[in-house]
Structure 1
Amino acid sequence: MDSSKKPKPEPLDHPSTLLTLCPSSSNPDVNSEYFRISELFRSSFEQRLRRNGDVPISIEPESDPYATAIVPYTNPEAEALSDGELIPRVVATRKLPSRSSELVRVTDLQTEEFNVFREIIRRTRILFESLRLHSISGDDKNKDPTLMTPNRRMRGDLKAANMMRECGLWLNRDKRIVGEIPGVCIGDIFYFRMELCVVGLHGQVQAGIDYLPASLSATKEPIATSIIVSGGYEDDEDAGDVIVYTGQGGQDKNHKHVGNQKLESGNLALEMSLNYGVEIRVIRGLKNEGCSSGKVYVYDGLYRITNSWFEVGKAGFGIYKFKLVRIENQVEMGSAVMKFAASLRARPLEARPQGYVTLDLSSKKENVPVLFYNDIDNDHDPINYKYLKTTAFPPYVYNYGNNNGCECIGGCQDNCLCVMKNGVLAYDHNGILMKGKPLIFECGPCCSCPPTCRNRVTQKGVKNRFEVFRSMETHWGVRSLDMIPAGSFICEFAGVVLTREQAQLLTMNGDSLIYPSRFTERWKEWGDLSQVFRDYACPSYPSVPPLDFALDVSKMRNLACYMSHSSSPNVFVQLVLYDHSNVYFPHLMLFAMENIPPLRELSIDYGVVDEWSAKLAICN
């Protein structure tokens, strides 16, 4: 079937079928809340068509009978004292609105406008991950481990998506966006298919083609908006910028071809998108054994369908094929960056023959090498500092308080002495921080539990491979060669501790000081469930006094000191104690606030100036 031989219908961006939005900085509505995005767009349809039959968020009862349950959760203000449940803002039986039939395209977003949408996307993804961890935590408490089958995965992603949908927190449901989703960047990674639905990048829970059905289309023809390329069909061909995509259908439940495909549903939608010249969002699903879902999804940008045809596939049945070509002048594909990062991890000098100053800035102090790369100029300043793996506290800090440890032998549980200081276990089985708290107590050198204890995470040091690099925008920067899941420990912000008096003396001659009291309390965002549970309260236990010390990084520092500042960071500070009990001098531990793709720069919110100094002291 050669599309060039068919008559071309009226372009889809005609006012009667598609509204193209061109916002400007003078438009006051652009900076409104994202869930009111409908105020930015006016309907191009004369009337709403009947509701769309979306794929429901559900799971077979025999595979997980608790998939759609509202999971009880302990009140953060009384974690160690009661088993009270949080109250959801809506009930599970509420009738939920269907997806809109309206197609819109958002173009020419200014930087300030894009940042507004980016922040809403960021907060939505934080909430999704917080709810997912919250759901798993509830399962851990309520299920008998002896009755659980091996390798069974609790579907916390389904539960999180359900709760967000019931609260009306899914994005882009009131309009179907053609092209870029405002606030989503090429290269963004997602560990769960449901998260794609939550942010509106791909609206189908199972199908690889997302489209507006003919029954809802103003032209009475289906229109495709996005596809997922994950190797589900043996006839697929993926060369990066060019994809030969096999249509849907003709397979049994074991993904084997048993019949011919038909030009209907998603296949017909792709054909119509070819005819109308509609751009298609492409998400690639890549195998990843390191995550619970076994797959990671990366957004690779916009493609156009340039041709389609029908042929006999490898299995001997008729299939529809669509050729997609990536639109020019986009940033590099996220999947390509991931492949390049893999080559850097294996053979950095072969992948980048020029630019590496040293292959280990830490001089073997960290568990893995810290690369130092500069292909811009001859500034090699970071190698002039002694690398400090962990913060250097004054000796008297270790003589304060009760340093008695727990007596757990196999591993710590909720009744552990150290865990009880936190109220509940702070980390899941993969070492992911469940939620931010004012302070976290980890098991320490006086404890009887083994190094594999679940309550020992940050003290184990760096586990990802990082690279300090020269940046034209931020002078110095830090990026990871690995994917970092949200909630993962990154590294400590290390320096030499100075008292307030010592710091004041040092500032007389200029300083390279970091003031922990200035770091914003971004930990409050990690685990914030207030949008879903109306009686949620931010954790206030364990309490910690004001941080009245500074970190001197003028001669000794670690990779954290080269992280750039951002008011919308992807890294946050969590206070932790493990090697002493002096709450006045906690460790500054850094955690990922979102899923961080390889080679994306890490950023942290250093806060604002205070009475200590007239300037914001950022190391770089």
Structure 2
Amino acid sequence: MASLIDLNLYPDSPADVTGAASTLTAPKLEPKEEPFDVHTNYTNPNFDFSLNTQPKISQPAEQAVDETDVYSEFNRISKMFQTAFSGTPERYDDATFTDPDSRAIVPVQEENQHSAVADSSRRRNQQRSGELVRVTNLGFEDERYFRLVVRKTRMMYDSLRVLVSMEDEKRKSNNNLFGRSRNARGDLRSASVMKDRCLWLNRDKRIVGAIPGVYVGDIFFFRMEICVVGMHGLPQAGIDYLTSSQSSNGDPIATSIIVSGGYEDDQDAGDVIIYTGHGGQDKYSRQADHQRLEGGNLAMERSMRYGIEVRVVRGFRYAGSPSGKVYVYDGLYNVVDSWLEVGKSGFGVIKFKLVRMENQPEMGSAILKYAESLRNGPLQSRPRGYMCMDMSMKKENMPVFLFNDIDDNHEPMYYDYLTSSVFPPFVYHCGGNGGGCNCVSGCTDGCFCAKKNGGEFAYDQNGLLVRGKPLVFECGPHCSCPPNCRNRVSQNGIKNRFEVFRSKETGWGVRSLDLIQAGSFICEYTGVILTREQAQLFSMNGDSLIYPNRFGERWAEWGDLSQIFSDYVRPSYPSVPPLDFAMDVSRMRNVACYLSHSSCPNVLVQLVLYDHSNFAFPHLMLFAMENIPPMRELSLDYGEADEWTGKLSICN
């Protein structure tokens, strides 16, 4: 394996330093206990959805402080802050830290790096490890592997959360047969179930620095999801750290923080953060007491002294998020300074200055703000490179931009824009129309169209794909339900502002100016549908043809809960014959034709029928496999290459 676990904080570590380190003693400062993870006990392995218990979160008790003399208390804490480690200068003097082995990051046994870092599902002991490691020098295959592991875990979490929410909706609509309806948090319950089944990542190693498979700019809608992937292990506290009792040298070490504006003294300038330590707040999030150099605060100070970087996740309110907020991973920062001062509330607060490390991708939070300025700002403020403000010529619900700041190529403007595939006339006369539902005000469980889908709708109330299926039946022209019916998702066109852009790597690519939630509909892959005989003639002329039967079956991954339910069976209804047609995109196409290929895609193909009932000629609808941040390229698995030409079925 090309991936390495850095065994020491410093690269030139001598082989044996335990003797010198063992003479050092830790200061007598006991940190506060970590708040335990939000967790609801589920003992039924089949996950009984009738359990609707609201988890209880306990808060650590605050120590009493004599408030008769605020400044006397402030001076006392300030003196403690300055002299806490003066009793052991031989250990905490800055010069001492030139010792190659700080004992903060400890050696690990040689083993397969995949199982050591990411695949914690094989380990039944899910207590968080006290072993600090750093992962470095990952090769391409390692990066791809870890990204697949993270993506699979996030898909499982999203699918389970959607499923839990749907079950709760059914329970509420059933006249509260189980008594008074309680508010169930799908994000909490899903994380709890995954933790019970040992599906949280990176529990067996405490990783310092970047988490393999998590990219700068990745977006999370729920804080529990950050815990599931191992980015930040505490669902409430802003500082995640290794406690002194777990540390190999008795010092707490901070590994990550969440900056969400919870403290009035915070200052965030992007690359530089003035971060307020935790503690001293009342139940209304108001500073009501002095902060102390303990717990996470002490861990931040120790990380500064040892030169250990911390991960920074920013959280802020965002319109359209299912939780009302988004959390963005913005990369690694160094803690460069710490001090105590009187805060705005008049109480002593501990502050830390963090500076972003160089040579990292652009911050995801900055890209979010940039995309927002493009969406809401005047056209005159857009950067140079926009060659067309709507390739669809108003055929789509939202504009499709064309951007090229590399050369003068504007080829996508030469094609007629096609919002929906064009099928041969005989398709609409084969197989019958199958009838439609009689739901006047919108479809409900048990209607005719739900039965066609195997007794359940493919989408939740928010239009998210619950799980992939061989074929999805949407309501069509013979149904009585309105256009906003929950079973009419993909036929109503795009809902995001897409941009076809010129790329040095892929030629042309597609990105969105909007944040796309996992499971959301993106667009249809359109073209003129040809039979096999027609395709053979067209291919002789060298026209661009797409063969849908070669696309990877990524739909099977979305909603795969086989690791949650022991009796999970991959959806097989209805049985669809092999797709024996081609799509001509040589003259008419849409934005989907410019999606690039990836073996680890963020978009899947879901077959859908709505305007006819011919199983052999479904629509190719694209859905998001993960939360896709603005300005991140969309990718699709085009599957197998042509056996003759060796090329993928892709027109880009």
Instruction: Pick the aligned partner of 1:173 from 182, 203, 221.
Output: 203
TM-score norm. by structure 2 comes to 0.82
Instruction: Pick the aligned partner of 1:122 from 140, 151, 166.
Output: 151
C-alpha separation in 2, matches of 1:111 and 1:477: 21
1:372-421, Cα deviation, whole Å (9 max, x unpaired): 00011111100000000111111221222332211001111111111110
C-alpha separation in 2, matches of 1:578 and 1:350: 41
Is the partner of 1:10 in helix, strand or coil? helix
Unpaired stretches in structure 2, ≥5 consecutive residues: 1-80, 87-91
Q: Say if 1:11 and 1:277, in contact at 8 Å, map to a contact too.
A: no
After TM superposition, the structure 1 stretch with the greater mean CA deviation from structure 2, 142-151 or 340-349, is: 142-151
Change (3 A) 1:254 1:478: same
Pair 1:209 & 2:239 matched: yes
The aligned amino acid for 2:153 is: T
1:575-612, Cα deviation, whole Å (9 max, x unpaired): 00111111111100000001100000000001103569
C-alpha separation in 2, matches of 1:20 and 1:285: 34
Is the partner of 1:483 in helix, strand or coil? coil
The equivalent residue for 2:554 is: 522
Q: CA deviation at 1:304?
A: 0.6
The equivalent residue for 2:74 is: none
Moved over 6 A (4+): 2-6, 148-152
C-alpha separation in 2, matches of 1:380 and 1:370: 14
After TM superposition, the structure 1 stretch with the greater mean CA deviation from structure 2, 419-428 or 128-137, is: 128-137
C-alpha separation in 2, matches of 1:606 and 1:429: 30
The equivalent residue for 1:460 is: 492
- Identity score, percent: 62
Change (3 A) 1:173 1:354: same
- Number of aligned residue pairs: 562
Change (3 A) 1:509 1:170: same
Q: Say if 1:2 and 1:308, in contact at 8 Å, map to a contact too.
A: no
Q: CA deviation at 1:140?
A: 2.6
C-alpha separation in 2, matches of 1:572 and 1:2: 56
Q: Show the 5 A alignment for 1:534-545.
A: 534-545=566-577
The equivalent residue for 1:309 is: 339
After TM superposition, the structure 1 stretch with the greater mean CA deviation from structure 2, 569-578 or 149-158, is: 149-158
Q: CA deviation at 1:142?
A: 3.2
Q: CA deviation at 1:11?
A: 6.0
Q: Show the 5 A alignment for 1:156-195.
A: 156-195=186-225
C-alpha separation in 2, matches of 1:168 and 1:466: 38
Is the partner of 1:183 in helix, strand or coil? coil
Q: Say if 1:96 and 1:166, in contact at 8 Å, map to a contact too.
A: no
Change (3 A) 1:381 1:174: same
Q: CA deviation at 1:511?
A: 2.4
Instruction: Pick the aligned partner of 1:481 from 505, 509, 513.
Output: 513
Q: Show the 5 A alignment for 1:380-391.
A: 380-391=410-421
Q: CA deviation at 1:111?
A: 2.2
C-alpha separation in 2, matches of 1:529 and 1:456: 25
Pair 1:18 & 2:105 matched: yes
Q: CA deviation at 1:152?
A: 8.0
Change (3 A) 1:495 1:153: farther
Q: CA deviation at 1:450?
A: 1.2
The equivalent residue for 2:313 is: 283
Q: Say if 1:38 and 1:175, in contact at 8 Å, map to a contact too.
A: no
TM-score norm. by structure 1 comes to 0.86
Q: Say if 2:552 and 2:638, in contact at 8 Å, map to a contact too.
A: yes
1:12-33, Cα deviation, whole Å (9 max, x unpaired): 9617431479x9xxx9934558
Q: Show the 5 A alignment for 1:141-540.
A: 141-144=170-173, 146-147=175-176, 154-347=184-377, 349-403=379-433, 404-423=435-454, 424-540=456-572
Instruction: Pick the aligned partner of 1:7 from 65, 79, 93.
Output: 93
Q: CA deviation at 1:445?
A: 1.6
Q: CA deviation at 1:114?
A: 1.4
After TM superposition, the structure 1 stretch with the greater mean CA deviation from structure 2, 122-131 or 366-375, is: 122-131
Q: Say if 1:437 and 1:524, in contact at 8 Å, map to a contact too.
A: yes
CA RMSD after TM alignment: 2.5
Pair 1:108 & 2:137 matched: yes
The aligned amino acid for 1:114 is: E
Change (3 A) 1:232 1:516: same
Change (3 A) 1:269 1:611: closer
C-alpha separation in 2, matches of 1:12 and 1:445: 75
Instruction: Pick the aligned partner of 2:584 from 543, 548, 552.
Output: 552
The aligned amino acid for 1:323 is: K
1:39-80, Cα deviation, whole Å (9 max, x unpaired): 9xxxxxxxxxxxxxxxxxxxxxxxxxxxxxxxxxxxxxxxxx
C-alpha separation in 1, matches of 2:413 and 2:190: 45
1:339-395, Cα deviation, whole Å (9 max, x unpaired): 111111123744433111101011111001000000111111000000001111112
Instruction: Pick the aligned partner of 1:578 from 610, 616, 620.
Output: 610
Change (3 A) 1:12 1:480: farther
Q: Say if 1:13 and 1:20, in contact at 8 Å, map to a contact too.
A: no
Is the partner of 2:146 in helix, strand or coil? helix
Unpaired stretches in structure 1, ≥5 consecutive residues: 40-89
Is the partner of 1:436 in helix, strand or coil? coil
The equivalent residue for 2:64 is: none
Change (3 A) 1:549 1:347: same
1:495-517, Cα deviation, whole Å (9 max, x unpaired): 00000000011111212011111
Is the partner of 1:308 in helix, strand or coil? strand
The equivalent residue for 1:619 is: 651
Q: Show the 5 A alignment for 1:48-63.
A: none
